[in-house]
Structure 1
Amino acid sequence: MELNDFVVIDTLPIKDAMAKMDKNARKIIYVTSENKLIGSLSDGDIRRWILKDHSIYAMVKEAMNSHPIFILKKDTDKAMAQMKQQKIESIPVLNEDHTIRNIMFKTHELVQGKKIHTPVVIMAGGKGTRLYPYTKILPKPLIPIGDTPIMERIIDKFHDFGCSDFIVSVNYKKNMIKGYFNEIERDYQMTYVDEDKPLGTGGSLSLMRDQLKETFFVSNCDILVDADYTDIVDFHQKNEHDITFIASLKITQIPYGVLQLDENGLLESTVEKPEYSHLINTGMYVMEPSILDFVPEDEFADLPDVITAAKHAGLKVGVFPVSENSWLDMGQIKEMEEMIERLGVKK
């Protein structure tokens, strides 16, 4: 569905708004004037309008709720909590000028306005030894989170934002990965790059030099990042970065009183259960093709090491932070179980 399926202008006849509401099947539309949100119209609003014997040929603005619930883009991470508190199924996300950026649903679906078409590289060649014995049977990209393999969930998230060109590096149990994605229905393109030997998250990029000619994403095959990918690309390009880390804010609390000493070893102060914040590498990046100049040819290399070499050579490396709850990782069994629980899916 497109954003236009949920948005109407205030002078549209209610009859036409009803038809649009039938099309989106969500029983809600949002009303704008000069592209800014001014109201919402639910099937309940229309029902009450009709029961008062008003005309369905009247303009939408006469029947709408003129105090719609919304959140600003900077508060997107609070959307789910607000929908639960307000007992609503969807909420529009607004830019600072109150134009509608996208619409979020309680089902975790997102209806986007602007789409991106950035290629996505997915690193799916590793053995996933930290998930043994699961990975003795299945390659890590096909381990199910609920009834959907983790890599399919990653691809679906990118596809929600318009990405349709996926380049996947494969090695361990690669025929199982190819077989699965060849069997499912999909409306995106997948190209496989076969590693004859393990090359790591950095080395495998050497096999993609001819395919990566524009800005591209890189993602590990065991993480989910719940963020606005359009924002990430805009941030990367606006700041003219060569590489952008997508980093999660991680808050760690020491569950004890911490003693701080002076230079003579005497107590200076105490801090009870202090909290410290760090930015953690999620395993997702946006890159320019210039990074490929620092990737060794047909040799094993970790991507962070490649990026460090690029930075020392003068490339511009930035960081796009997301909230702690926006990053899910399943690199280990305990983390996989936490991902399943947080996504609310059945094992």
Structure 2
Amino acid sequence: MNSSLSLEDFIASEKASLSEAMQMIDKNTHGIVFISDEKGVLIASLTDGDVRRYLLSGGAMNCRAIEAANNAPKSALSQKEAKKIFHKRDYVVIPIVDKKGRIVDIYTGDPKEQKLFRESLNVPVVINAGGKGSRLYPLTKVLPKPLIPVGDLPILELIMKSYLYNGCADFHIIVNYKKDLIKTYFRENEAHYNIRWYDENEPLGTGGGLSLLKKEIHETFFFANCDVLLDSNYAEILKFHKEHHNVITMVCAYKNFNIPYGVVEIGKDGVIQEMKEKPLISYLTNTGIYVVEPEVLDDIQDNISIGFPDIIEYERSKGRRTAVYPVRGNDWMDMGQFPELEKMRVRLSSE
């Protein structure tokens, strides 16, 4: 187990809410928590996949975590047994329990035996890299946002490497602002990425640039803004998209926010109905990453500026299926503003 983590980072009370459990999952970064009773006995496990299925079936983040959990979790009585179970079925974490069923340790796997690459998806990736990055001004006065370094590499190259890790090597990149700088960087890059460039003559928003690809893409593709990184299983996202016959799947992240004040709800004549002290608010936010069917391109007008959320609304109005695939808040990193950019740099430097 990571020395910066403790056993408590993996164990939630049976009274914990789904929001509280999700915060623990984000903190331990392993995609799972174990639920124990008041004596410390293992009674359930909860993964981000369990949470996703629960929410998609109509559950809410303020419900108890146990309602979404797996009540028959796998466990081991020793490190040796845990290692055998872990690598036999590709588990993410195995709890080690004593003879009374109390959790005494956690096995998170041997890094030497873990895969370097995930399942090869071979799906085209479209990246919108045409914006001016005004929220990062004056930095973007010198460099276009796609070339802003996050650690040793610019953000655009980090995004591409995340897709390469998931077996996606066919890149289609929409450019506008300081496009020659971007192209020059990748032309001189030793990695030799497979890129096709699409030049916007005028800014076309977060969605309008897709009109340039109408005759170029004829299959399901990933579409992403150039300021976000996602550390999730892309194969599972694609599987969800296909199984539900979506034309667009929006990847959204769970976010939890503690309001630092007491909140009061009132009724008629100011009568107090409920008081909550520093409540935890949970919501889903758009990450700017999507899975898209090629027929959506035919509905986008040429040379018209439009946001991709407006394209989603249009598809919904036509009765086509659009859906959300939820991921952990900790899986999503955004560098669109200076505070987020610094958080991304700190996190990547520690990994």
Would you call these one fold, judging by a TM-score over 0.5?
Answer: yes
Q: Which amino acid aligns with 2:223?
A: V
1:245-279 deviation digits (Å, cap 9, x = unpaired): 00000111111111111233211221111111111
Query: How far, CA to CA, are the matches of 1:337 and 1:271 in structure 2?
Result: 33
Correspondences of 1:43-122 after superposition (within 5 Å)? 65-68=80-83, 70=86, 90=111, 103=114, 110-112=116-118, 114-122=119-127
Classify 1:274/1:158 alpha carbon distance in 2 versus 1 (closer, same or farther; 3 Å).
same
SS of the aligned residue for 2:181 comes to: helix
Per the alignment, do residues 260 and 207 of structure 1 end up closer, same or farther by CA in structure 2, a change over 3 Å counting? same
For residue 91 of structure 1, report the CA deviation from its aligned partner.
8.0
* Cα RMSD, aligned residues only: 2.5
Residue number in structure 2 paired with 1:184: 189
Match of 1:289 among 288, 294, 302: 294
The residue identity in structure 2 corresponding to 1:67 is A
User: What is the alpha-carbon distance in structure 2 between the residues aligned to residue 223 and residue 176 of structure 1?
Assistant: 20
1:220 corresponding residue in structure 2 = 225
Provide Cα deviations, 1:174-227, integer angstroms capped at 9, x if missing partner: 011001111112254100000111111211011100111000000000000110
Q: 1:332 aligns with which of 332, 337, 346?
A: 337
Name the CA distance, whole Å, in 2 between partners of 1:188 and 1:150: 15
How far, CA to CA, are the matches of 1:75 and 1:171 in structure 2? 42
Per-residue CA deviation, residues 8-57 of structure 1 (Å, 9 max, x unaligned), is xxxxxxxxxxxxxxxxxxxxxxxxxxxxxxxxxxxxxxxxxxxxxxxxxx
Q: By how many angstroms is 1:152 displaced?
A: 0.2
The structure with more radius of gyration: 1
User: Following the alignment from structure 1 to structure 2, what is the Cα–Cα distance between the partners of residues 237 and 91?
Assistant: 33
Opposite residue 156 of structure 2, the aligned amino acid is M
For 1:131, which of 132, 136, 145 is the aligned residue?
A: 136
Q: Which residue of 2 aligns with 1:155?
A: 160
Mean alpha-carbon deviation: is it higher for 271-280 or for 151-160?
Answer: 271-280
Q: Evaluate the alpha carbon distance shift between residue 214 and residue 142 of structure 1 in structure 2; reply closer, same or farther with a 3 A threshold.
A: same
3-state DSSP of counterpart to 1:111 = coil
**2:209 matches 1:193:** no
**Count, aligned residues:** 261
SS class of match (2:126): strand
Provide the rounded CA distance (Å) in 2 between the counterparts of 1:65 and 1:263: 63
The AA in structure 1 aligned to 2:86 is F
Map residues 230-309 of structure 1 onto 2, 5 A cutoff: 230-309=235-314
Look up the SS of the partner of 2:282 in the other structure: strand
| Alpha-carbon distance in structure 1 between the residues aligned to 2:224 and 2:313 | 18
> Following the alignment from structure 2 to structure 1, what is the Cα–Cα distance between the partners of residues 185 and 270?
62
Q: Matched residues in 1 for 2:243 and 2:189: separation?
A: 37
- Displacement, 1:283? 0.4
Partners of 2:344 and 2:308 lie apart in 1 by 24
Deviation sequence 1:266-319 (CA, Å, 0-9, x none): 112211111111110000000001211321211111111111111111111011
| Cα distance change, pair 174–183 in 1 and its aligned pair in 2 (3 A) | same
CA shift for structure 1 position 87 = 8.2
Task: Determine what percentage of the aligned residue pairs are the same residue.
Answer: 43
- Residues 270, 156 of structure 1: alpha-carbon distance in 2 compared, 3 angstrom cutoff: same
- In the TM superposition, residue 335 of structure 1 has moved relative to its aligned partner by 1.0
Query: Please, what TM-score do these two structures have when normalized by structure 1?
Result: 0.70
Q: Is 1:313 aligned to residue 318 of structure 2?
A: yes
Contact 2:284 2:326 survives alignment (8 Å): yes
C-alpha contact (below 8 Å) 1:146/1:345 kept by paired residues:
no
Task: Name the residue aligned to 2:30.
Answer: none
Greater alpha carbon shift after TM alignment, 231-240 vs 184-193: 184-193
Which residue does 1:208 correspond to in 2?
213
**Contact in 1 for aligned 2:186/2:193 (Cα 8 Å):** no
Query: Does the CA-based 8 Å contact 1:164-1:187 persist in structure 2?
Result: no
Find out whether 1:141 has 2:146 as its counterpart.
yes
Seen in structure 2, the aligned counterparts of structure 1 residues 312 and 133 have a Cα distance that, compared at 3 Å, is same
**Contact between 2:82 and 2:107, CA under 8 Å: does it hold in 1?**
no
SS in 2 for 1:70: helix
The runs of 5 or more residues in structure 2 that have no matched partner are: 1-78, 96-104
Determine if contact 1:203/1:298 at 8 Å carries over to the other structure.
Answer: yes
Q: Normalization by structure 2: what TM-score?
A: 0.69
Whole-Å separation in 1 of the counterparts to 2:173 and 2:126: 6
**Partner Cα separation in structure 1 for residue 194 and residue 125 of structure 2:** 10
Aligned pair in 2 of structure 1 residues 269, 218: CA closer, same or farther (>3 Å)?
Answer: same
C-alpha contact 1:291 1:307 (8 A) present in aligned 2: no
Q: Which runs of 4+ in 1 moved over 6 A?
A: 71-74
Tell me what 1:343 maps to: 348
